[in-house]
Chains A and B, each alone.
Chain A
Amino acid sequence: MATRTVPVTVVGGYLGAGKTTLVNHLLRHAEGRRLVVMVNDFGDTPIDAALIAARDGDTLALSNGCICCSMGGDLVAAFDTAIRLAQRADALVIEASGVAEPDRIADFARAEPDLALDSIVVLADARSHARHAADPLVGATLRRQVAAADLLLLNKTDLVEPAARDALARDLATAAPRATLVATRHAAVPLDLVFGDGPGSAFACTTAVTPPADHEAQFDRWSGTGHVFADHAALERALARLPDGVHRLKGFAHLADDDSWWTVQVVAGRIDLAPCTAPPALAAEASVFVAIWPRGMVAREALDAALRADAS
């Protein structure tokens, strides 16, 4: 069995919502991340021909170090292959089928000790979502897809009137109260919104941020250090106080009582803490965090204060 826990990102949404476009966006902007992408079938994923280095049956090796494998029909066999491939990769991305429930796919990552769920990204087509959600055949499936999202991308917003977009955004916010909602065109989002990258690489990524693109203007980032936590309970209280709207916060926390270190991952309100064996070089003494959220959703001072309120 594998020895490394691979972070998993599940990409869901109905047919035509832009799942494949997002996967291609992630592959094109991988920036040194080695991704293993499990897709329903290659026919649906027009992966840039220039990126493809080699093909071997059900897997495609890309020139940037990423790998695509086909989910095929047998989910168990596909997961087994993907886990094997992902042992040398930074993350596993699973593009679910248009009628799959991303939460059920995420269950594989929650159950399997060699995998860890990073986040569930669901796309909604701004033009057709309302119509499909009301469809007697697939409406219930669509509503369950949306409800499972950590990050909900309202895609193709350039193709609808602002008023229609805003009305749909309000509906989606009700349907997925926990999710971070972001309007996108061509599913273009910064990769640090999608990937936690695991604690080890957290800071490497912030130092090599993707050059600000058009979509970058929509997001606020924050980094902070010097937070002190008396004990584990104090850390939990601090994280529970985080203001709504912080999509992702990650970092290393230092506990004063036993001088222990913990990795912290928060995605759309889901908190993950794990003891960390060796304190990272970057975080010399005090805790260190980075966070990202859609522009204007969170006041930096409020975030900083939430983490400091328990400081001793």
Chain B
Amino acid sequence: MHAKTTIYAARRIVTMNPRQPEATHVAVRDGRVLAVGDAGCADGWGGGDIDTRFADRVLLPGFVEGHSHLIAGSIWRFVYAGFHRRMAPDGTIWEGLGDTAAVLDRLASAERGLAPDQFLIGWGFDPIFLTGARLSCRDLDRVSATRPIAVMHSNFHMVTVNSAALALAQYGRGTSVEGVGKDEDGAPTGEIRGMAAMFPILRRLGVDFRAMTRGEDALLPFAETARRCGVTTASDLLNELTLDEAARLRAVADRPDYPVRLYVALSAHTSPPRDIADLAVALAPRSSAKLRLGAVKIVVDGSVQAFSAQLRWPGYYRVPDHAVWNMAPERLGEAVDTLNARGVQMQIHTNGDLATEVALDALDAALARCARPGHRHTLQHCQIPDRAQFQRMGRLGIAANLFANHVHVFGDVHRTLTLGPDRAQRLASCRTALESGVRLAIHSDAPVTPMGPLFAMWCAVNRLTASGFRLNPAESLTVDEALHAVTLGAAWTLGMEGEVGSIETGKRADFAVLDEDPRAVDPLALKDIRVRGTVLDGVSFADA
């Protein structure tokens, strides 16, 4: 007696298996790939039911997003006010807003739909892209003079508010708090910079980022966000997990109708390294097919666009140096050594090349003390390493998950302000990584930039900044390489390349359902390929 076998027919199946790159049929049994080939591929297994729903579509391995955050789903409870076009978890397309007036229009129409006691909160706002006068408290007062309004900027480190929100925090002319912007007359502009100054406002508006990563309200829209861009395995890189919280996560993730596999990395920043290692080791066996636990995330420095990344000489180009260590270099050495010795995989955020150097020193020492050939330690973002650093990563077996989307979104800012034209060339230097023998993934860091592996591929292949400048095309990936980076490459950084990332016998039947083969379109059109959803464990979550 065989379990049921379904044979999906497609216009083309791109397998990412180099020994059988293309097929027209894939047979699925028990949620796994049974056979790949033509209509008769499963005949020897007793055949199966041919399913033609994808007959006009192209199937690819489900994409793997190696660096995103659960909040990418729940953030949509707020009004999107960004410059770039985005798709909400419910499929609504929100056009990008090119000037302040358009932002105010969108806020005003959202305001009309609110109950009298609700606050109006926006997100994704980015004044550096906008023309015209900067959004101010006075502008927002025209949307409502009485209802508190807060518009969070895309970096989450700044917010622009109206007078009613200023009053909640008791901010006024007499306020002298770092980060509360003032105009030349000493009146608050409405711009509030930094977590400390934002705290009284966010607290009174009930914005709780930690709560926004918990429960169905976060997990369901996150999965929808992933599904709509073809992602079947998505990561949450920085979670203050407990054993109880992991059990709650798993209760949702394990449901057969939950359409994405999750990889959740424990934050290393809540306890001493030994306790973190104990917790990570205790979490690992609580993994399931749908929820991967046991890895740890470490944040070493800040970000280049906030001037808080740790840069080597010659430092910042035309902006002040606000570099921070999120973990003292000395502590990092201790944490990396402890976690490596216990066999815990580390996802390490480094933006600046000095942070990368310090992380590599720590990893080099830890691996010399306790060699672990299968460690899978990965540097995340790793924005502007030089070739020698990549070669060192190659030698140590450290993977790179590079922030390809950054080239497009922030490339101009880095060329002209933060890094200057020379080091901006090194942003997401994917080709140097590959040439140095480094395993490569590319990512969105959603919600910082929109989740979308096809968009990340477009960025890595074309390297076009928002202004249309081609930033160091010598670092461009080919479409095939980019495809690898969002499938098997990303799966490797999660230690899951044996289960996902390609369409081969024995692997999870996870597919992305597309209208076109990315290898067959103009590379400039990669981001415009329509995604019809996914198949997970052989079950279709594709749009009808």
Interface of A with B (CB < 8 Å)?
Answer: 1, 14-15, 41-44, 70, 72-77, 79-80, 97-99, 101, 104-105, 107-108, 110-113, 137-138, 140-141
Q: Is B179's CB within 8 Å of the partner chain A?
A: yes
Does A79 contact B199, Cβ atoms closer than 8 Å? yes
Can you list 14 A-B contacts with CB-CB less than 8 angstroms, sorted by A residue number?
A: A15-B330, A42-B271, A43-B275, A72-B240, A72-B269, A73-B269, A77-B208, A98-B328, A104-B194, A107-B177, A107-B196, A111-B177, A112-B203, A113-B200
Q: Which partner residue on chain B sits nearest A107 by CB separation?
A: B196
Which residues of the other chain, B, contact A1 by a CB distance below 8 angstroms? 204
Does A73 contact B240, Cβ atoms closer than 8 Å? yes
Given contacts A43-B274, A76-B199, A137-B329, 17 further A-B contacts (CB under 8 A): A1-B204, A15-B331, A73-B267, A75-B195, A76-B203, A76-B208, A77-B210, A79-B199, A79-B203, A99-B324, A105-B196, A107-B179, A111-B177, A138-B325, A138-B328, A138-B329, A141-B324
Which residues of the other chain, A, contact B202 by a CB distance below 8 angstroms? 76
| Number of A-B residue pairs having CB atoms within 8 Å of each other in the complex | 93
Min C-beta distance of A107 to chain B, whole Å: 3
Q: Is B165's CB within 8 Å of the partner chain A?
A: no
Name B209's contact: one of A76, A112, A140 (CB within 8 Å): A76
Q: Which partner residue on chain A sits nearest B327 by CB separation?
A: A99
Name B323's contact: one of A41, A74, A140 (CB within 8 Å): A140
Which residues of the other chain, B, contact A138 by a CB distance below 8 angstroms? 325, 328-330
Does B331 contact A111, Cβ atoms closer than 8 Å? no
Min C-beta distance of A10 to chain B, whole Å: 12
Give 1 or 0 for each of B233-273: 1 = CB within 8 Å of chain A CB: 00000101000000000000000000000000001011110
Q: Which of B180, B240, B270, B326 has the most CB of A within 10 A?
A: B270
Cα distance, A25 to B179, chains bound together (Å): 34
Does B179 contact A43, Cβ atoms closer than 8 Å? no
Q: Is B170's CB within 8 Å of the partner chain A?
A: yes
A141-B169 contact in complex given A70-B270, A107-B196, C-beta closer than 8 Å: no
Which residues of the other chain, A, contact B197 by a CB distance below 8 angstroms? 107, 111
Q: Is B522's CB within 8 Å of the partner chain A?
A: no
Which residues of the other chain, A, contact B184 by a CB distance below 8 angstroms? none
Does A74 contact B210, Cβ atoms closer than 8 Å? yes
Q: Is B358's CB within 8 Å of the partner chain A?
A: yes
Cα distance, A261 to B432, chains bound together (Å): 70
Does A112 contact B240, Cβ atoms closer than 8 Å? no
Min C-beta distance of A242 to chain B, whole Å: 21
Q: Is B178's CB within 8 Å of the partner chain A?
A: yes
Which residues of the other chain, B, contact A141 by a CB distance below 8 angstroms? 324-325
A112-B328 contact in complex given A107-B177, A137-B358, C-beta closer than 8 Å: no
Name B178's contact: one of A43, A73, A99, A110 (CB within 8 Å): A110
Q: Which partner residue on chain B sits nearest A16 by CB separation?
A: B330
| B144-199, CB < 8 A from A | 169-170, 177-180, 194-197, 199
Which residues of the other chain, A, contact B238 by a CB distance below 8 angstroms? 73
Cα distance, A75 to B270, chains bound together (Å): 11
Give 1 or 0 for each of B272-294: 1 = CB within 8 Å of chain A CB: 10110000000000000000000
Name A99's contact: one of B196, B267, B328 (CB within 8 Å): B328
